[in-house]
Amino acid sequence: MKYSFMNDYSEMAHPRILEALSAVGVKQFEGYGLDEYSAGAAGLIREMLSAPSADVHFIAGGTHSNLVVISSILRPYEAVIAPVSGHIFVHETGAIEATGHKICTREGRNGKLSAADIESVVLEHSDEHMVKPRLVYISLSTECGTVYTKAELTSISSYCRSNGLYLYLDGARLGPAINSVACDLSYIDIANLTDVFFIGGTKTGALFGEAIVICNDDLKDDFRFILKQRGALLAKGAAIGVQFQALFADGLYDELAMRSNAMAKKLAEGIKTLGYKFLFPVETNIIIPVFPIAIASKLHELYGFHDWRELDDMLAVRLVSSWAAPESMIDEFIADLSAL
Amino acid sequence: MKYSFMNDYSEMAHPRILEALSAVGVKQFEGYGLDEYSAGAAGLIREMLSAPSADVHFIAGGTHSNLVVISSILRPYEAVIAPVSGHIFVHETGAIEATGHKICTREGRNGKLSAADIESVVLEHSDEHMVKPRLVYISLSTECGTVYTKAELTSISSYCRSNGLYLYLDGARLGPAINSVACDLSYIDIANLTDVFFIGGTKTGALFGEAIVICNDDLKDDFRFILKQRGALLAKGAAIGVQFQALFADGLYDELAMRSNAMAKKLAEGIKTLGYKFLFPVETNIIIPVFPIAIASKLHELYGFHDWRELDDMLAVRLVSSWAAPESMIDEFIADLSAL
Amino acid sequence: MKYSFMNDYSEMAHPRILEALSAVGVKQFEGYGLDEYSAGAAGLIREMLSAPSADVHFIAGGTHSNLVVISSILRPYEAVIAPVSGHIFVHETGAIEATGHKICTREGRNGKLSAADIESVVLEHSDEHMVKPRLVYISLSTECGTVYTKAELTSISSYCRSNGLYLYLDGARLGPAINSVACDLSYIDIANLTDVFFIGGTKTGALFGEAIVICNDDLKDDFRFILKQRGALLAKGAAIGVQFQALFADGLYDELAMRSNAMAKKLAEGIKTLGYKFLFPVETNIIIPVFPIAIASKLHELYGFHDWRELDDMLAVRLVSSWAAPESMIDEFIADLSAL
Amino acid sequence: MKYSFMNDYSEMAHPRILEALSAVGVKQFEGYGLDEYSAGAAGLIREMLSAPSADVHFIAGGTHSNLVVISSILRPYEAVIAPVSGHIFVHETGAIEATGHKICTREGRNGKLSAADIESVVLEHSDEHMVKPRLVYISLSTECGTVYTKAELTSISSYCRSNGLYLYLDGARLGPAINSVACDLSYIDIANLTDVFFIGGTKTGALFGEAIVICNDDLKDDFRFILKQRGALLAKGAAIGVQFQALFADGLYDELAMRSNAMAKKLAEGIKTLGYKFLFPVETNIIIPVFPIAIASKLHELYGFHDWRELDDMLAVRLVSSWAAPESMIDEFIADLSAL
């Protein structure tokens, strides 16, 4: 198989994750996430966030997290605002609509919404013949690999709080974002500025699992009912708790995120040196260089990756660096590219 | 913590499961279940079922499996028939109704529906002012720990096929059922007699995971769309594939199921010897003895288990034996009980 | 066509209803129920209810009213409690489940729930693995033609208010109920004891239309969004407003309800005189006598009516008297029956 | 009250409609649309369409029709393609999403989609991570008051049939469209080129009511179940049947549609003579002239109408002419406008 830059979930799990799972042995635990490991992991996360009263729930995957969170918040006629590139709008097979809710979109910029984008949606929804926007969905990092700055997120958060909107942040790649040099946000900022968000484990070294953090008290009630109803309450919830303990007990999560970023940065610098441009700023472990179509085709013979968009006779392609990407593959890619 | 007979998902995973996951290392795989491990596991299952054209999909949990399968089959006004004790009716927080469908119930007997039960539901639904029953849901083993015989399942299957109903079997505990001496059904029979079913991994040694098997061609189209839309398509689907390869490559699954049954049988025999009766026939790894309330209360101080139902001054309690239950705990429980 | 006792919606509308609609001519009005006629009708209803702050919304039909009201109140995992004979459970093709909610039932008595029935549902729902009952649905009159007494409804209302449940009353036949000699409840009592209910026009002389009355402030917000989303906000909502003005301006509604009851009473007395019994107390315009099957078969040749239930060699049948039933047909039915 | 050009449902009903309803008297009929009037009206429509095997169902309103039809056709992950100006996308409070389905939009032109627009949606949906477009929704006339030509509709229909898409036409204003000089389509063409459509009564003289016509056999099964489940099966369905008999027995429907168009044409010509332009071609009874904001403000003091869109210092406004619009009001509007 060709080496793949398709995504950051192509390798199983960091060895320390699997070791932690093995270390439990046949010790019994409570079912459905009421176990000591999940409690411990939630404690570590609350501490990291300086958010002692936040609720933390573990769930297997990101699409599932999105549909559970969004459907738990909205009344039937309420809608969610998202960028057109938002994962919930494009790549979740209508999961949000399947729970009954419309997604109102704006183009945004570099995968990001601004407060002005959000306001323009709010202003065009005036009466009961239209849905009522009630929740804003953003991703950090975005599908374009970009990050929000603290100023940007603060502006969105302020607008939401002044206008009766909740703010939900999809953190499937929160680690690479927070550890990006382009991002001046801390985990604590995320907890302060959003109402609910999740910290993605699957794409940063875990076998599977995301940690949903509910910061706003209004959104906490009966969340476990929603989890159960949507099939998201795993019998062995402990299996996620153990992993998040391993990720957050001593910095493994950030370490893996930084490594993903570093490999992507090296890759981007190599590509740039060869004279190619990028569609978006290079900020995390997703980079989107633009190659002539012929070059891209030859690269496809050597490596796995997704095409992003055609631009006349050029092709923007998405290269994702994983926590497990060997540095040698980065070197090899650059060498192969320079030889084309 | 007290030793728990509450369920069969209180221990993490059989060591060979975790070893198999570790053995993958950082080898890359395709995302979303399109990997070689899932393909391999599906192949083993198809072979075991003598069902070369069956579709096999892996999913994280049982409630999720139920809602995905049922909502993929039914048109909006169609309903599912289930026993009143059915997991979908009692213990899934309205997950099926949340996908829009009514569950029509019959009391059944020992947790089981009969063809006559099903027919009585069909007959009372006559026109467009009522839902249209279209699917039958049964469990093997049942919530009562009982099993269907081949004659019983054949009768249900025949009725369904003659009357335009699909038959779906919840096999969260299929291993203990098939390996029960009370059950003359084989895995092959299940594939032949049902339209779709799942083989439960979570409760028989896996870390997590169930294998949905679609036998009827009519139900195969676009199933992955439904999985994705419901949040059930795991990015690292390979993590379930690896586990099912470990479970079915050389008999581990049946071995663990048999061990669960054997421990339950020993426990039941000890209880019976002490003069207590059971609410249902003892057939798999769930047994439901009836104790005087005072005895049950004292047992609660020593062991974890769920109450099933009060019967005047008696209490039926549910004891579940896991694949990991140490024989010593069985002995201890009997000794403690005989001392009360 | 045979004369039909099948229901009370087999005739178009009382002449004064159609005259009122014609009287509007081509006078323009606001769309979607924001017109002066709807406002006027709402005012009459609020006055009758001594409920100046109640919200009144008009809607075309009863099933639609039920699904709109119930889905506007419940969060996704919340359920509604109803009698097994409840219209929403039996005869609405899963309309409530289609909005995502489970209906928890109790047998009740004579089509009625008691506070004890409701409590028994509440007590068996203990945690997030089960739905959370949040709303009670009852009908007045019931499907059996019976009525709640003030004591019965007060008991239910008190239980609901003490236990965080909302109470919704389906008043498709509220007129016949309130005007029943067996019913000591007034319209004002209904407004005081329930959180939301509707006054049925369709079955008491209107061309179509029901008036939803929301008494509890907590349930008022954004109700028009729900109406619109479910397809219930008629462009010419004024057409219902005009009808309810005609029904409630000078007593037409009660007059028609009383006439329905009187015809049913005469019919019941004739049947009783001939020695037949009734399945339920005769209280409104629905009566359910029990005939030998042979007698019932002969009656079917002469009249239209629905069978209710077989009882060994007897058949309970449902006879409904409309506001438009000619007294001569009652006499004829009795004469025909006595001749059999 | 100011005279209103807001819409074509501001007057109750044409006198012949109300006369037809009154003429029924207290004659009994079957409930739920199984009456002779509905059958008669369906027969007239099938004859007009030269579609003897089409199914015809009557329903109270347009939004309700849209959600019923669309949710009856699609599997959960399937989506509908619509223009961004489509009523279902903008003005139905997320009714389609509330049944679980995503709407994929294209800008289109003058409120219309082209086959190329549809193809571009289809091409971008490639796998199970995205919804599967399965149905195309268009309106005739459109929200912009424009019509499709026979060539345009044929092109769309051909694309749909070649690519496994169903075509649904919202005919809330089908009368004004078919009777437009700009439209070379006949009712028969509509039946031949679409899979399902509805003929709007509410906006062309009826008290309320739309006739859903299902042309494609694949979409006919169990439609009444869907109607009932969504609250759309009126007890007195006969009340719509009677109206459609009156509309289609002797040309009343087309007569009223033509009158609406004629009044709009006169209004448009007067506006044009005064030197104003229109945002879209003037083709039916909805016209969208562009006025300086100051002029529009003064007109608002004199007449009721909706603003459509700001264009720098100009305002496009929507003027709708009803079947009941008095010619004197058209003259008056032009006179007032010329005086500003």
Question: Given an 8 Å threshold on Cβ–Cβ distance, is A100 in contact with D93?
Answer: no
Closest approach of chain C CAs to the CA of D146, in angstroms? Answer: 21
Q: Across the interface, which of D128, D131, D222 has its CB nearest the CB of B77? A: D222
Q: Can you give the pLDDT at residue A333?
A: 98
Measured between alpha carbons, how far is B78 from B76 in angstroms, rounded to an integer? 6
State whether D149 and D272 are in the same domain.
no
Percent of chain B with pLDDT over 70: 100
pLDDT at C90: 96
Which member of C208, C235, C238 has the closest CB to residue D234? C208
Q: Can you spell out the DSSP letters for D113-144?
A: --HHHHHHHHHH--STTS-EEEEEEEESS-TT
B174 closest CA partner among B34, B37, B65, B308 = B65
> In chain B, how many domains are there?
2
Query: Which residues are CB-neighbours of A113 under 8 A, at least 6 positions away?
Result: A81, A82, A83, A106, A136, A138, A156
Closest CA in chain A for residue D74: A98
Both C202 and C290 in one domain: the answer is no
Please report the pLDDT score of residue B214 as a whole number.
98
Q: What are phi and psi of A281, to 5 degrees?
A: -55, 140
Q: Which of A68, A94, A231 sits opposite B67 (nearest CB)?
A: A231
User: Over the stretch D68-94, which tens digit does the pLDDT of each residue have?
Assistant: 999 999 999 999 999 999 999 999 999
pLDDT mean over D309-328: 96
The reply to whether C256 touches chain D by the CB within 8 Å rule is no
DSSP state of A218: G
* Pick from B29, B67, B324: CB nearest A26: B324
Cα–Cα distance list, A180 to A244, A261, B167, C22 (Å): 21, 7, 52, 71
Q: What is the largest CA-CA distance in chain C?
A: 61
Where residue B248 falls (left for φ over 0; alpha for ψ -120 to 50; beta otherwise) is alpha
Q: What is the ipTM of this complex?
A: 0.97
Torsion of CA D198, D202, D208, D213, to 10 degrees: -10
Diameter over CA atoms, chain A: 61
- As a whole number, mean pLDDT of residues B271-289 equals 98
Chosen from A2, A12, A68, A90 to mutate, greatest number of chain B CBs within 10 A: A12
Contact B234 A93 (CB under 8 A): no
For residue D199, what is the domain's CATH number? 3.40.640.10
Q: Are residues B165 and B308 in the same domain?
A: no
- Is the pLDDT at D1 greater than 80? The verdict is no
The residues in B 86-115 lying below 8 A from D, measured between CB atoms, are: 99-100
Does the pLDDT value for residue A183 go beyond 80?
yes
Q: Are A227 and A297 in the same domain? A: no
Distance from CA of C5 to the nearest CA of A (A): 39
Which residues in chain A are contacts of B233 at CB distance < 8 A? 61, 63
pLDDT digits (tens, 9 = 90+) for C259-297: 999 999 999 999 999 999 999 999 999 999 999 999 999
Which string of DSSP letters, residue by residue, matches C29-94? --STT-SHHHHHHHHHHHHHHT-TT-EEEEES-HHHHHHHHHHHH--TTEEEEEETT-HHHHSSTT
C80 token code pair? 């509604």
Query: Would you state the structure tokens that stand for residue D98, as one six-digit string?
Result: 């509330």
D200 and D300 share a domain?
no
Q: Is residue A189 very low, low, confident or very high in pLDDT (cuts 50, 70, 90)?
A: very high
| Chains A, D: CB pairs < 8 Å | 54
Report pLDDT digits (tens) over A193-240: 999 999 999 999 999 999 999 999 999 999 999 999 999 999 999 999
With helix as H, strand as E and coil as C, how does B166-234 read?
EEEEECCCHHHHHCCCCCCCCHHHHHHHCCEEEEECHHHCCCCCEEEEECCHHHCCCHHHHHHHCCCCC
Domain boundary residue, one of B187, B219, B248: B248
CA separation, residue C212 to residues B216, C46, C186, C245, C298 (Å): 46, 11, 17, 14, 41
Predicted pLDDT at A54: 98
Same domain, A102 and A202: yes
Contacts of B232 in chain A (CB under 8 A): 64, 231
Residues B49-106 have pLDDT tens digits of 999 999 999 999 999 999 999 999 999 999 999 999 999 999 999 999 999 999 999 9
- As separate numbers, helices (DSSP H) first and strands (DSSP E) second, chain A gives 14, 14
Q: Which residues of D touch C92 (CB under 8 A)?
A: 228-229
Q: For residues D163 and A31, give the distance between their C-alpha atoms in angstroms, rounded to a whole number.
A: 48
What's the pLDDT score for residue D290?
98
What token pair was written down for C315? 């058949």
CB atoms within 10 A of CB C217: 11
CATH of the domain at B268: 3.90.1150.10
Structural domain containing residue B291: 3-9+257-339
pLDDT of residue A172: 98
Strands C286-287 and C314-320: antiparallel
C233 touches chain A (CB under 8 A): yes
Which residues 6+ apart lie within 8 Å of C128 measured at CB?
A: A222, A224, A225, A227, A228, A233, B93, C77
Q: Give the model's pLDDT for residue D61.
A: 97
Q: Given a cut of 80, is residue B1 above it in pLDDT?
A: no
pLDDT digits (tens, 9 = 90+) for B110-140: 999 999 999 999 999 999 999 999 999 999 9
Res A1: pLDDT: 75
Yes or no, beta carbons of C61 and D6 under 8 Å apart = no
Q: Is A229 on the interface with B (CB under 8 A)?
A: yes
| Bond from prior residue into C158 cis (ω within 30 degrees of 0) | no
Tokens, residue B86: 């059915």
- pLDDT tens-digit map of D186-245: 999 999 999 999 999 999 999 999 999 999 999 999 999 999 999 999 999 999 999 999
> Same structural domain for residues B237 and B277?
no
Instruction: Note the pLDDT of residue B33.
Output: 98
Alpha helices by DSSP H, listed for A34-131, are 36-49, 62-73, 87-90, 95-98, 115-124
User: What residues 9-48 of chain C have any CB closer than 8 A to a CB of chain D?
Assistant: 9-13, 15, 18, 21-22, 24-31
Q: Please state, in angstroms and rounded to a whole number, the distance separating the CA atoms of residues D62 and A86.
A: 32
Q: How many angstroms from the chain centroid is the CA of residue C40?
A: 23
Q: Residue D130: list chain A partners with CB under 8 A.
A: 90-91, 93
Q: How far apart are CA D70 and CA D64, in angstroms?
A: 10
DSSP, res D110: T
Same domain, C65 and C134: yes
The 10s digit of each residue's pLDDT in A292-336 is 999 999 999 999 999 999 999 999 999 999 999 999 999 999 999
Our CA-based measurement puts residue D54 at a distance from the nearest CA of chain C, in whole angstroms, of 24
| Percent of chain C residues topping a pLDDT of 90 | 99
Residues B195 and B331 in one domain: no
Identify whether residues B44 and B163 lie together within a single domain.
yes
Residue B310's identity, in one-letter code, is E
Q: How far apart are CA B201 and CA B164, in angstroms?
A: 30
Pair (C222, C114) in one structural domain: yes
Q: Looking at D217, D248, D279, which one is the last position of a domain?
A: D248
The band of A101, judged by pLDDT with boundaries at 50, 70 and 90, is very high
- Average pLDDT for chain A: 97
Residue B101 confidence (pLDDT) = 98
- Total-model pTM: 0.97
D220 and D282, same domain (yes or no):
no
The residues in B 53-92 lying below 8 A from C, measured between CB atoms, are 76-77, 79, 90-92
Q: State the pLDDT confidence band at C1, using cuts at 50, 70 and 90.
A: confident
Last residue of a domain, one of C214, C248, C282: C248
Structure tokens belonging to residue B10? 């209180």
- The mean of the pLDDT values for chain B is 97
Q: C314 is written with which tokens?
A: 């007897």
Distance CA B244, CA A196 (A): 35
The encoded tokens of residue D321 equal 């002419």
Give the closest of A92, A229, A236 to B93, CB-based: A229
Side-chain-facing half-sphere of D334: CA atoms under 13 Å:
17
> Per the CB < 8 Å rule, is B130 touching C79?
no
> Mean pLDDT, to the nearest integer, of C194-200?
98
